[in-house]
Amino acid sequence: MDNPYKHQPSKAFWRSAVAEYSPIEMDGVYEPRFEITPEMAISAAGSCFAQHIARQFRQRGYNFQDFEPAPRMIDAETADEFGYTQYSARYGNIYSVRQLVQLFERAEGRFEPEDHVWETGGRFYDPFRPSVQPGGFATEAECLVERRFHLEQVAKMLKKTDLFVFTFGLTEAWENLNDHAVLPTCPGADVGTFDPELYGFKNFRFAEILEDAETFILYARERNPEMKFLFTVSPVPLTATATDQHVLPATVYSKSVLRAVCGELTMKYDFVDYYPSYELVASHPMRGLFYRPNMRQVALEGVARVMDVFFGAHAAGAAVQCGDNAAVSSDAADAKRIADVACDEEILEMFGS
């Protein structure tokens, strides 16, 4: 008897598409919805895993936008340490879409958060990117001048972007209870001071994240009607959860909700594509091969595999293989620098001992 499954390709069946292959042999996992060409102006933001994607666009010759390039007098390691070259501007990690939306609202002067500057140990920090200036600023005025310049650069971004790449990282966040400004870290975990009357925990739900994502898409396409979007979900688990759950189900909840939002957006908009970086690292057929021993950080080989599958699916990126770029540098120190990414939430690890 005839039925729809008789006409499905082999990639649609678990045995022929997954079970019969090792994780490094699996093919056809990603088929691009639209072509990404080297001429497209590409901007990126997101959680820490997104830093790998930004680096690879640069290294493979794409037109990756950098609105806050590092000063010429500093080396690559120092540039990384101070938040340069990680993304398309020096905003550090953006873990939630609400944080992303508010970034552009601040850049256009439509939102002025109550949290202005945090002082810790006589040094001054930007609450919305506390890690981009290690050790903080010497004065409050210095912090404010640098932030003003940063937001001016962010304000230029969307008008000059053809493809916006965003990696969804977490559902958990901390916000100011007065104005609901979302912060990248919990105040007091590293810098700032935690006040339970001022700051509250927020675990975003599916409907909230979807609404924020659609708000951002509409906002971006008002500035560039032809803009396309590439979304991914970070395969990096939570360092710690502020819920009353075990960190494992808390992580699964977070990633499941984010993946569901990406699926909804992809089904609804033909200018949105989803790349399964999460599935290529974290799904059970991968057997944890691509994680470091702590089962959280993605190993260098995992990064190379994820990037090669993505760029191999795009004709323009296929010409540069992973052995030809810095993702697998033969220099041990350089390879470690590229494999490591700046994650604000890793500071939470110290509270679990």
Q: What is the pLDDT of residues 3-21, one digit of tens each?
A: 999 999 999 999 999 999 9
152-209 per-position pLDDT tens digit: 999 999 999 999 999 999 999 999 999 999 999 999 999 999 999 999 999 999 999 9
156's tokens: 């230029």
Instruction: Give domain status of residue 227, yes or no.
Output: yes
Strand partners, 334: none
Residue 348 pLDDT > 60: yes
**Rounded mean pLDDT of 138-155?**
97
**In this structure, what are the phi and psi dihedrals at residue 141, rounded to the nearest 5 degrees?**
-60, -40
Alpha-carbon distance of 281 to 274, in angstroms, equals 15
Are the C-beta atoms of residues 272 and 217 closer than 8 Å to each other? yes
Residue 257's DSSP bridge partners are none
What is the Cα 258 distance to its own chain's centre? 12
Percent over 70 (pLDDT), the chain: 90
Range of the domain at 269: 35-111+154-185+197-352
CA distance 242 to 251: 11
**pLDDT, mean over the chain:** 91
Residue linked to tokens 């979007």: 229
- Nearest CA to 132 out of 140, 141, 124 is that of 124
Percent of the chain with pLDDT over 90: 83
CATH number of the domain encompassing residue 334: 3.40.50.1110
- Rounded to whole angstroms, the Cα distance separating 294 from 170 reads 19
pTM, to two decimals: 0.90
Question: What would the pLDDT profile of 288-316 be if each residue is shown by its tens digit?
Answer: 999 999 999 999 999 999 999 999 999 76
Confidence class of residue 53 from pLDDT cuts 50, 70 and 90?
confident
| Euclidean distance between CA atoms 309 and 286, whole angstroms | 14
Q: What is the Cα–Cα distance from 219 to 100, expressed in whole angstroms?
A: 11
Q: Does residue 15 lie in a domain region? A: no
Quick check: is 145 in a domain?
Answer: no
Number of domains in the chain: 1
Query: CA 338, CA 328: separation in Å to the nearest integer?
Result: 9
Which pLDDT score, from 0 to 100, does residue 327 have? 45
Cα separation, 97 vs 170, whole angstroms: 9
The answer to the question of residue 214 being in a domain is yes
pLDDT-based confidence at residue 84 (cuts at 50, 70, 90) = very high
- Alpha carbons 341 and 98: distance in angstroms, whole number: 22
Annotate 112-179 with DSSP letters as a single string. Answer: --S---EEETTEEE-TTSTTSSTT-BSSHHHHHHHHHHHHHHHHHHGGG-SEEEEEE--SEEEEETTT
**Pairing between strand 123-125 and 118-120?**
antiparallel
Q: What is the mean pLDDT of residues 79-88?
A: 93
User: pLDDT value at position 89?
Assistant: 97
| Exposed / middle / buried, residue 143 (Cβ in 10 Å: 0-12, 13-18, 19+) | buried
In a domain, 236, yes or no: yes
- CA angle, corner 253, sides to 32 and 246, nearest 5? 140
Residue 274 host element (H or E): strand 272-274
> What is the average pLDDT across 35-44?
95
123 lies in some domain: no
Within 13 A of 41's CA, how many CA atoms are on the CB side? 14
Q: Flag whether 315 is in a domain.
A: yes
Other CB atoms closer than 10 Å to residue 124's CB: what's the count?
A: 21
With respect to residue 292, please indicate whether it lies within any of the assigned structural domains.
yes
